[in-house]
Structure formats: structure tokens, C-alpha cells
Amino acid sequence: MKKRILIVDDKPTIAKIINVYISELYDCTYYEDPVTAIAWLLEGNRPDLIITDLNMPKMSGVEFIDYIKKNNLFDNIPVVILSSEDSTSQKIALLEKGASDYISKPFNPLELKARLKKILN
């Protein structure tokens, strides 16, 4: 059975690119905002990993990560940040909050795939 990845990004093209490169290994579920993704999680869905952007509508990616990492139901799900924000201090802060990895956009889909494999194996 394939592992499941939740992608949360306000740009559908990012999710499509990710899906093209990793769909042979993983089942992907996509939402354009964290609020809808949280509703999906609260319905009992459990991904093996979450990929999230930081700048999104309704709730920021930082708030989403805080929610995930402070909730006992979801705190052990690895979170990979995929963002155009490239501040070293922000990267460090998010990794210290519990993010498993931080990848800057534009990104190489093959590098993302390799990093996901490493985290999930």
C-alpha cells in the first residue's frame, strides 16, 4: 500500500508538479488552504507526511505547522515546508518547531522526491 502525502499550497500548479514526480510512490491529497486541510484531518484522515507552503489564504503555513505540532493526533506526522520564503532565521525557527525539512521554491522535483523518500523510510 502506498504512503499518503497531504499537499497544502494555494497554487494548484505546485501540487500538480509534485504529483507528477511522486505519484508512482505515494498517494497525494491536495488542498489549497490549511483550514480545509485541517477539516480533512479531523475527519479521521491520516497522511504519512505533509508538504505545506507558508504564504496561504485563511491561515498561514506557520499557523498550520503550529496547529499540527501542538495537536496530539497529528504531532508525529512529518512536515516538509516548500516555500519561496528564503530567510535563514525563519528556516531555523520552523525546523526547531518540528518541521522535518525546508525546501526553497523554485525547487527541483527530483530533489524533493529524494528528500521525501529519506524521511518516509
pLDDT for 106: 94
pLDDT for 86: 82
Which residue segment(s) compose the domain that 74 sits in? 3-120
Q: What type of residue is 50?
A: I
pLDDT for 1: 87
pLDDT per residue of the chain (121 residues) written in tens, 0 to 9: 899 999 999 999 999 999 999 999 999 999 999 999 999 999 999 999 999 999 998 999 999 999 999 999 999 999 999 999 888 999 999 999 999 999 999 999 999 999 999 999 9
Number of domains present in the structure of the chain: 1
CATH number reported for the structural domain that contains residue 116 in this entry: 3.40.50.2300
